């Protein structure tokens, strides 16, 4: 048994293996998946000396605890949280050396939602369709972590770890999502489009890796019929029967039957990954969008 591995002591609410995803397979019904906050995933990999596309752990709200079987460089970033090694506080947002057999504890997020944990060499589970990412919708990739799970690590990276502090964007106090009107915006009344662009929404606690759900004023339909299923893209803002927009995230379905009123710019979606329930949301049309 190789010592280039780690054992999961506490899996937390939802901890998954993620890299930068498996784009290019929507025609097979496979979404991109990958880290919901790719900026954070890339940065912790750089801190650990890895290539930016190495697989990391993505935690949700309450972190996780792992015990590496070998000495390894670790970096924790994304949502700020306490980090300890054998009970002693260590730096968040910087590379940390963890001895073989020591307990690395990634604590509850004090702001934001998702923390990212990179290990020197990356998490080396078997790739599926070119990615090691867990896809909650299709079931591809490794299962979400459970207590006792053992994950292999790759060879130590050739690049040096970065032990200095690094600036990080703060989780949003207000989530501003820039949008272009979508292919079915004409299924909504002019008043609904004004509401969408001017009224505040809030992040709903019902969201997950598939989509960020919102609560707020419902959008009135101008067309009462139903659509056949059609292709969906990352960032699509779909409006289900309750009228409240849903922003599709990395594990989104590749087809859907509810009308898409707009599409969020991809660069804004990392902030959506860190928006806690109750965060105000504003949709801002750009590029000639109405009203």
User: pLDDT digit of tens for each residue in the chain (291 aa)?
Assistant: 568 999 999 999 999 999 999 988 888 888 889 999 999 999 999 999 999 999 999 999 999 999 999 999 999 999 999 999 999 999 999 999 999 999 999 999 999 999 999 999 999 999 999 999 999 988 999 999 999 999 999 999 987 777 776 777 788 899 999 999 999 999 999 999 999 999 999 999 999 999 999 999 999 999 988 888 899 999 999 999 999 999 999 999 999 999 999 999 999 999 999 999 999 999 999 975 454
What stretches of 79-152 adopt beta strand conformation (E)?
83-85, 88-89, 95-98, 104-106, 115-119, 150-152
| Residue 259 CA, distance from chain mean position | 24
- When computed from its CA atoms, the radius of gyration of the chain, rounded to whole angstroms, is 20
CA 33, CA 37: separation in Å to the nearest integer?
11
Give me the domains of the chain, ranges plus CATH numbers: 5-152 (no CATH), 175-285 (2.40.100.10)
CA 253, CA 232: separation in Å to the nearest integer?
7
Closest CA to 90 of 165, 150, 3: 165
DSSP state of 216: S
H-helix segments, the chain: 38-48, 190-198, 269-273
Closest CA to 55 of 96, 30, 24, 21: 21
Q: Name the one residue in this structure whose structure tokens are 């509850």.
A: 108
């Amino acid at each position: 048994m190789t010592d280039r591995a780690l054992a999961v002591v506490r899996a937390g609410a939802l901890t998954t293996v993620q890299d930068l995803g498996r784009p290019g397979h929507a025609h097979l019904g496979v979404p991109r998946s990958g880290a919901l906050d790719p900026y954070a995933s890339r940065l912790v990999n750089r801190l650990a000396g890895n290539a930016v596309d190495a697989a990391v752990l993505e935690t949700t709200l309450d972190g996780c605890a792992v015990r590496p079987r070998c000495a390894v460089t670790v970096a924790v970033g994304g949502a700020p949280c306490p980090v300890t090694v054998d009970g002693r506080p260590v730096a968040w947002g910087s590379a940390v050396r963890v001895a073989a057999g020591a307990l690395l504890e990634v604590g509850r997020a004090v702001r934001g939602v998702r923390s990212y944990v990179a290990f020197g060499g990356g998490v080396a589970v078997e790739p599926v369709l070119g990615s090691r990412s867990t896809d909650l919708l299709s079931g591809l990739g490794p299962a979400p972590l459970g207590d006792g799970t053992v994950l292999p690590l790759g060879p130590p990276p050739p690049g040096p770890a970065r032990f200095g502090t690094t600036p990080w964007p703060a989780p949003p106090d207000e989530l501003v999502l820039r949008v272009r009107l979508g292919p079915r915006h004409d299924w909504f009344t002019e008043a609904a489009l004004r509401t969408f662009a001017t009224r505040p929404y809030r992040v709903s606690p019902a969201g997950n890796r598939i989509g960020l759900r919102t609560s707020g004023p419902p959008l009135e339909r101008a067309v009462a019929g139903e659509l056949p299923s059609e292709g969906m893209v990352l960032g699509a803002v779909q409006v289900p029967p309750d009228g409240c927009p849903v922003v599709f995230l990395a594990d989104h379905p590749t087809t859907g039957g509810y009308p898409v009123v707009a599409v969020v710019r991809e660069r804004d979606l990392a902030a959506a990954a860190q928006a806690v329930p109750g965060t105000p949301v504003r949709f801002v049309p750009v590029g000639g969008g109405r009203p």
